[in-house]
């Protein structure tokens, strides 16, 4: 059963607050800011992401993205958030806890992206802490997984700062930027002693 029965999912879904930033699901009014940030960060993001569809930055594609986001929240399958600066409401990036598996697993997978101009400021370190706390406390998950290309040293370090443990290596794990790429596999389990609090000061 879904944890949230949402009629207007993006308006009533969880709002996660941290130090100097907050996270919430995307809304229709975010289209312009989202498109601008993604477009200006294209060269920065594409080496680490699946190939962008030709219409990825169009209003129609954004509407489909919102419908999928809202449906997945209502079905307790995934919770996607945009990351905003407190005060200015400037969009900085996005993070999703998805692929939620209930039953004996109680696990999910973490994915994230940060606009180029905001990278390296500790913003995503804090966002990961916020979403991990949400996953364990609100979604009642036992395990949260993440993966990154071995060459993505910044992402591997970010996960380590948030208490994730490197657990393995998967060959041709995901199709990234048009090619099947090997990935390092990470996970964090509820109760891990090194897990930081979501409201703690994040650096790096």
Quick: pLDDT tens for 52-72: 999 999 999 999 999 999 999
Sign of CA dihedral 47, 49, 55, 58: negative
In a domain, 198, yes or no: no
CATH number for the domain that contains residue 183: 3.40.630.30
10 Å CB burial of residue 56 (0-12, 13-18, 19+) is: middle
Residues of the domain holding 155: 9-189
Asked if residue 3 is part of any domain, the answer here is no
Give how far Cα 178 sits from Cα of 62, 80, 113, 116, 174, Å: 22, 24, 18, 21, 10
Residue 42 domain flag: yes
Residue 163: inside a domain: yes
- Separation of alpha carbons 19 and 30, rounded Å: 22
Output helix, strand, coil percentages for the chain, rounded to the nearest 5: 35, 30, 35
Token pair listed for 42: 């294209």
pLDDT at 195 over 90: no
pLDDT tens-digit series, residues 100-118: 999 999 999 999 999 999 9
* Residue at 194 is within a domain: no
Q: How far apart are CA 50 and CA 2, in angstroms?
A: 28
Q: Is residue 196 part of a domain?
A: no
* Residue appearing with tokens 């393995």: 168
Among 106, 127, 111, CA closest to 19 = 127
**pTM of the shown model:** 0.87
Is 149 contained in some domain? Answer: yes
Number of domains the chain contains: 1
Mean predicted confidence (pLDDT) in 78-95: 96
For 111-165, the pLDDT digits (tens) are 999 999 999 999 999 999 999 999 999 999 999 999 999 999 999 999 999 999 9
């Amino acid at each position: 059963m879904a944890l949230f029965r949402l009629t207007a999912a993006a308006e009533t879904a969880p709002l996660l607050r941290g130090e100097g930033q907050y996270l919430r699901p995307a809304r229709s009014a975010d289209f312009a800011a989202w498109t601008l940030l993604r477009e200006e960060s294209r060269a920065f993001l594409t080496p680490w992401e699946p190939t962008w569809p030709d219409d990825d930055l169009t209003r129609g594609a954004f509407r489909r993205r919102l419908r999928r986001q809202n449906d997945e929240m209502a079905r307790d399958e995934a919770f996607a958030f945009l990351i905003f600066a407190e005060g200015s409401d400037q969009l900085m990036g996005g993070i999703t806890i998805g692929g939620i598996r209930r039953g004996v697993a109680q696990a999910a997978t973490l994915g994230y992206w940060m606009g180029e101009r905001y990278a390296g400021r500790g913003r995503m370190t804090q966002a990961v802490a916020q979403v991990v706390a949400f996953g364990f406390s609100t979604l009642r998950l036992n395990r949260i997984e993440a993966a990154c290309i071995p060459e993505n040293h910044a992402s591997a370090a970010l996960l380590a700062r948030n208490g994730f443990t490197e657990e393995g290596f998967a060959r041709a794990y995901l199709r990234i930027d048009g090619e099947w790429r090997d990935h390092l596999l990470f996970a964090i389990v509820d109760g891990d002693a090194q897990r930081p609090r979501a409201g703690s000061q994040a650096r790096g």
